[in-house]
Structure 1
Amino acid sequence: MSHQPPEDAAARRAIPPVICYPNETLPRPDMALYAAALATAEVTQTLLAPPREAAAFRVPAGHFFRIRSVDGPQVGDLNLWNASDLSERFYSGKTRALHGTHVSTGERLWSCLPYLRPMATIVDDSLDWYGIDAFGGSVHDVIGTRCDPYTGNLLAGTQYHHCCHSNLTRALSEATGLAPAEAEAHVHDVLNVFMCTGFTRDTGQYFMKASPVRPGDQLTFLAEIDLLGAISACPGGDCSSEHSSDEAACHPLAIDILVPVADALSGWQSPSVNGYDRSHGLKS
């Protein structure tokens, strides 16, 4: 049943929006320091996430990691955990609330409650030129969840095992020794690296379009805490047409671990967990 608009409908719609989380008071990373440290850093390890597979990697606090496109346009789904405590993991929803639907240089990936601290800071983004296109699309989104076999089964009755959720589950299981069922519980909503997405203005639906990423493009982070990460080379390839498919052209993603020279981050400290006292208004 639809309803007729009230007499003051136009006035209600005309009320200006208010930013939910003004972020002017967020702690600001010293981007000049980070950029200078990155300029001195050397690659000590490179891993490859094969097409339609994921790779796990570890990055100590104060080191950099870089996700690179190789061979052809490809998007990736990134999960991050505290390397010593999987209960602290990337919180895409709060990152979206604090920074917006898409992230780029100078913005941070935040961890879940009750920790709520920066896990990684974007130091360099070769696609920062893209901005927001005429369709409302942009790159590196924190709005999509991750392609998964459950949604595929719900919508199409499929049993597809190389979607990003399953890829990340296998990668985490292999990296930690957890049984797959136990590892799956730690897989979470992602940063969609290189993916170009937005919302339609007529129906408000989440859309994807061909990523502008090309071989050599990269997204580089400083690890703010000791990290365990995993990235899936999405079975949608550049996500120009399909999400979970063996038909889309797919390519690997490279992950470089970079170590800055000694004292390059002089004065930097790994952030502490959130300072809220966790009493929740209850008497002790």
Structure 2
Amino acid sequence: MSSKNRLTEAAYQCLPGGPLDIDRAFMISFVLPIRSGKAWEVRKGDICRIIAVGRTDRLAILNIWSLHNPRERFWASRTRQLQRAHVSVYDRLWSTLPYLRPLVTISGDSLKDYGVDGSGIDAEGGRVHDLLGTRCDPYVNRMLTGEDNDYHCHSNLTRAVAPYGLTEFDVHDVLNTCPAKKGDYFEFIAETDILCALSTCPGGDLSKAMWGEGATEATTADPTLECCRPLGVEVYRLPDGWLTERGWKEAMPNGRAYKGGHALKEVLFASTGKS
């Protein structure tokens, strides 16, 4: 250790491969710039954390697919029915038919106690991570304004998944989160191998109007730019065997249990005669 670093470096040093030397292969991290999108893989049993790295953020505009079969993807509306409209720790994000299995389980949420009384619920009964809305898109923008604008969450997600052979037909309704402050995070464990895609919303934290009177009265041509913040993503791989030793198993599709055949052999039901 050089003398000039003695006051700032660790007092105890170890050789490469020693107990203080972190195997960085077990952690993947990146920062997603404003108004952009990125896709990444998360293997079953890995922990993924999305982090607000700016002052305020819309924390997540998130899509999820089965890595090996993109026909299986996150189903926001069914998750809302099986779990709740505003999800948090221990809730699961479920996949589409005929698979119907949890793709991820939420394992951490710094905003779980967000609310007017610290209970995690606001005055209207809402929480932070919601399944109620969808993504902004250039088609609605064109319909409402008559102008083309490629910078929407739908566009960000479309560009993000293109390297994986997916298109905008694969982009689907989202997990949507706002507000958040620097350091807040949303974390989940992958219940099977998944592909995630994230958009940093072009509308930022939505503190300024994107459309309508509030937007047209703005003093700048791009009123929401100052509201946009980057997001950080970290993926952690747990030591081999750590989860299985504690009884964890990969989630299997529940649809395999259904053997009814969707009534392909038609059954004619007799009328009761009542109107």
Q: Deviations over 1:207-237 (max 9, x none)?
A: xxxx1x1111001100001010000001111
1:279 aligned to 256, 261, 266, which one?
261
Deviation at 1:243, TM superposition (A): 4.7
Q: Give the TM-score taking structure 1 as reference length.
A: 0.74
* Contact 1:42/1:260 (8 A) holds in 2: no
1:157 aligned to 132, 143, 146, which one?
146
Matching of residue 53 in structure 1 with residue 36 in structure 2? yes
1:232 aligned to 194, 199, 210, which one?
199
Change (3 A) 1:126 1:57: same
1:142 aligned to 128, 131, 136, which one?
131
* Contact 2:86/2:126 (8 A) holds in 1: no
Aligned length: 222
Matching of residue 256 in structure 1 with residue 238 in structure 2? no
Deviation at 1:142, TM superposition (A): 0.5
Tell me how far apart the structure 2 counterparts of residues 42 and 94 of structure 1 sit (CA, whole Å). 35
* Contact 2:39/2:196 (8 A) holds in 1: yes
Q: Deviations over 1:108-154 (max 9, x none)?
A: 10001111100000001000001221244421111111111111111
Structure 1 segment 1-284 matched on structure 2, within 5 A: 44-75=27-58, 76-130=60-114, 131-174=120-163, 176-178=164-166, 183-192=167-176, 194-195=177-178, 211=179, 213-243=180-210, 246-248=222-224, 249-265=227-243, 266=245, 267-274=247-254, 275-277=257-259, 279-283=261-265
Change (3 A) 1:270 1:103: same
Q: Give the TM-score taking structure 2 as reference length.
A: 0.76
Gaps of 5+ in 2: 1-23, 115-119, 216-221, 267-275
Report % sequence identity: 44
Tell me how far apart the structure 2 counterparts of residues 278 and 151 of structure 1 sit (CA, whole Å). 40
* Contact 2:29/2:234 (8 A) holds in 1: yes
Tell me how far apart the structure 2 counterparts of residues 105 and 187 of structure 1 sit (CA, whole Å). 25
Deviation at 1:158, TM superposition (A): 2.5
Tell me how far apart the structure 2 counterparts of residues 137 and 102 of structure 1 sit (CA, whole Å). 7
Deviation at 1:157, TM superposition (A): 1.8
The code of the aligned residue for 1:173 comes to A
Deviation at 1:242, TM superposition (A): 3.0
Deviation at 1:43, TM superposition (A): 5.6
When structure 1 is superposed on structure 2, of 164-173 and 74-83 the one drifting more is 74-83
Tell me how far apart the structure 1 counterparts of residues 45 and 107 of structure 2 sit (CA, whole Å). 12
Residue equivalent to 1:208:
none
Change (3 A) 1:214 1:43: farther
Tell me how far apart the structure 1 counterparts of residues 181 and 159 of structure 2 sit (CA, whole Å). 27
Q: CA RMSD in A?
A: 2.0
Structure with larger Rg: 2
Deviation at 1:42, TM superposition (A): 8.8
Q: Deviations over 1:240-280 (max 9, x none)?
A: 23358943221111111111123221221111112222511
Tell me how far apart the structure 2 counterparts of residues 217 and 142 of structure 1 sit (CA, whole Å). 19
SS in 2 for 1:95: helix
Change (3 A) 1:156 1:43: farther
Gaps of 5+ in 1: 1-40, 196-210
Tell me how far apart the structure 1 counterparts of residues 125 and 203 of structure 2 sit (CA, whole Å). 20
